[in-house]
Amino acid sequence: MGAIAAPAVAGLTEVGTRPRLGGYLAETWRLRAFAVRLAGSRLISGLLPNRLGVLWIVLKPLSLAITYGVIFHFILSGAARPENYVQFLLVGVFVFEFFTGCFGSGSKSITSNSKLVQSFGFPRILLPISVIAEQAMRMVPVVLMLGILLLILGEPIAWSWLLVIPILAVMGVFNLGVALVVSRISVRTRDVQQLVPIISRVLFYASGIFFDLDGALADLPTLLTIVHLNPIYEFIAIARDVLLEGYTAPLLAWIAAPIWALGMIVGGVIYFWRAEPRYGLSD
């Protein structure tokens, strides 16, 4: 009996046991620099092979905005097409890219680092966190370019533009919660990673990226209310509210967005933590 109790007395823990949540989060905070370094190194290594380097961070969402803008400029009409359509589209695409980057990369955060997970002892939650940190780094030049484009297109600069920073920070919290959930599911069911692009595409059309949902669904109030509860739509709507003159997000979006973020991060952390002992056995 004494031999069995010895490891606990020495401060050691049995392999394969789940740590207490408080200690787990404390250790995660202590090793936060590891997640930031991992995010930075992955960002740099991903850009170095490309001749245009960091420009691709901006060129990708910009090319998507141009493509959709050219196509739907001639298709949309009436209430579904806002007056400042180009600015409306740019904000939608650029903000949506933040979510898709976190969602897609987050789903692979554990499975793509299996050797690291199996070789070293650390809170596995640091891997999804590093994904969000990397995507946040990518958003810096994206937000700067978005501001420049809005000025070129005649959008008056305002103090409210500064609110886009806390909005994206809250969205990053929401994205982390989503990444934690999908990363745990992907460990046991890799097929989920094949569904991520499909889910992203559905959300793209359901979030009013290239058309005004309020105008398009004005005659369907029940459906419009349901759509307003889409968290991606809400973050995009409030970003448009602070960046675009003449656009006002529904009050529900301002209320529900932080609630979604809080609920998603709390649920995501607990859901991810409960499977902590199994991540090293994923392969």
pLDDT reading at 41 higher than 90:
no
DSSP secondary structure code for residue 4 in this structure: H
**The pTM is what?**
0.86
Residue 5 resides in a domain: no
In the structure encoding, which two tokens stand for residue 195, read together?
Answer: 């569904």
Residue 212 resides in a domain: yes
Residue 244 resides in a domain: yes
Residue 107 resides in a domain: yes
**Alpha-carbon gap, residue 114 to 242, rounded angstroms:** 41
Identify the residue whose tokens are 């979006």: 253
Identify the residue whose tokens are 């976190």: 102
The total number of structural domains in the chain stands at 1
Residue 111, phi then psi, degrees to nearest 5: -65, -30
**Alpha-carbon gap, residue 14 to 77, rounded angstroms:** 64
**Alpha-carbon gap, residue 57 to 120, rounded angstroms:** 31
* Of residues 100 and 2, more confidently modeled: 100
Residue 11 resides in a domain: no
Task: Provide the residue count of the chain.
Answer: 283
CA 121 from chain centre, in angstroms, equals: 26
Residue 9 resides in a domain: no
What is the residue range of 224's domain?
19-276
Residue 7 resides in a domain: no
What pLDDT is stored for residue 81 in this prediction?
63
Label residue 160 by pLDDT band (50, 70, 90): very high
**What number is the average pLDDT over the span 55-64?**
72
Share of the chain above pLDDT 70, in %: 83
pLDDT reading at 118 higher than 60:
yes
* Of residues 244 and 54, more confidently modeled: 244
Residue 1 resides in a domain: no
Q: Do the beta carbons of residue 156 and residue 245 sit within 8 Å? A: yes
For 206-226, write each residue's pLDDT tens digit.
888 887 777 767 777 788 888
